Amino acid sequence: MKNTVSIALLSILLIACSSQPKETTKNTADVSPTPYAESIQINELQEYLFEISSDAYQGRDTGEEGQKKAAQFLKNYYVENGIAPGNANSYFQEIPSSFFNERFPDSENVLAFIEGSEKPEEIVVLTAHYDHVGVDEDGNIYNGADDDGSGTVALMEMAEAFQLAKNEGNGPKRSILILHVTAEEKGLLGSKFYTENPIYPLENTVNNLNIDMIGRVDTNYSTKPENEQDYIYLIGTARISSELHDLALKQNQTYTNLELDFTYNAEDEPMRLYYRSDHYNFAKNNIPSIFFFSGLHEDYHQPTDTADKIDFELLQKRTQLVFYIAWEVANREERLVVDVAIE
């Protein structure tokens, strides 16, 4: 009787277990990134950019009160949107004045983090500098709306889009590090500090996508008809990984259809822009990188670089392109191949 009861109970349990619905894991490769890219909204880009490039931030000069206020603004944004800190329990990576040879006060990079679902140890780093050049001796405030308020708010919106995907069970396979760097205007020093003191090992960093000025139409395109002004300069795409170059072309063709201009990607480009933004500190460590840029204009490093001159529709499209590229890099099966020797 005892054995009969045990067999009966076992049979019931087996039937019950087999009748339970099986838990399914979503394949991110089958998930469209478009709903998340479309969460990058013009009105939010406007709100954040008008704020961070306002006079209240005093030009965000490295180590000064305005830059500290901007860092706190970014931290508050990530806290409010439920996006995790990127440096253990902190949103800041402190940089001592000694690293700047005492030329500037202490400063900080700002980091947020979306952990990957399958390969969390592999990191896609999205960068933009949030510092600018401050106030001149005559009291003129250099608000830096395009340089690089545009990149700063692009990162904020992309972080929110990736977090939304994660909240819906469609988070990236690889982790996304949102890295707002300081002291770019002092010589790429915030990104230099990060790559010399990485929070996540550089050997696990599969890609850097860097945004520096993507909110305007430059002097090369401003004379063209408006319907020919949907462009973005890509710098460095094939310098380390030909695969990254091809991926960027494919994502643009599939989703955004911007004109991709490689003028500043040339080896003999006279302004040497490849060496003049924060991606370079990753690239020189053999990390495939792209620098996204909309070009120079008459308000570059002037008090007149203000938010009312930003083309927010273009800013949205350009931000969405970076998001689509980051999505593919984060979710593809294999990490990007490094197949071009660094200089």
**Nearest by Cα to 153 from 73, 219, 88, 87:** 73
Q: What stretches of the chain show up as alpha helix (H) in DSSP?
A: 2-19, 34-37, 42-52, 65-80, 151-167, 189-196, 242-251, 279-283, 312-331
pLDDT for residue 1 is more than 60: no
Tell me the C-alpha distance between 338 and 239, whole Å: 9
CA atoms within 13 A on the CB side of 175: 22
Tell me the C-alpha distance between 70 and 86, whole Å: 17
The answer to whether the CB of 74 falls within 8 A of the CB of 128 is: no
Query: Read out DSSP for 238-260?
Result: TTS-HHHHHHHHHHIIIII-PEE
pLDDT for residue 301 is more than 80: yes
Q: pLDDT per residue over 108-150, tens digit each? A: 999 999 999 999 999 999 999 999 999 999 999 999 999 999 9
Q: pLDDT per residue over 245-263, tens digit each? A: 999 999 999 999 999 999 9
pLDDT mean over 23-52 = 87
DSSP code of 66? Answer: H
pTM of the model: 0.92
Burial label, 105 (beta-carbon count in 10 A; 0-12, 13-18, 19+): middle
Assess whether the previous peptide bond of 148 is cis (omega < 30° from 0): yes
Pairing of strands 84-85, 107-114: antiparallel
Write down the pLDDT at residue 57: 98
Residues belonging to the chain: 343
Q: pLDDT per residue over 88-108, tens digit each? A: 999 999 999 999 999 999 999
Confidence bin at 30 (pLDDT 50/70/90): confident
Confidence bin at 27 (pLDDT 50/70/90): low
Percent above pLDDT 70 for the chain:
91
Phi, psi at residue 36, to the nearest 5°?
A: -80, -40
Structure tokens at 225: 């008809």
Pairing of strands 107-114, 92-95: antiparallel
Write down the pLDDT at residue 2: 38
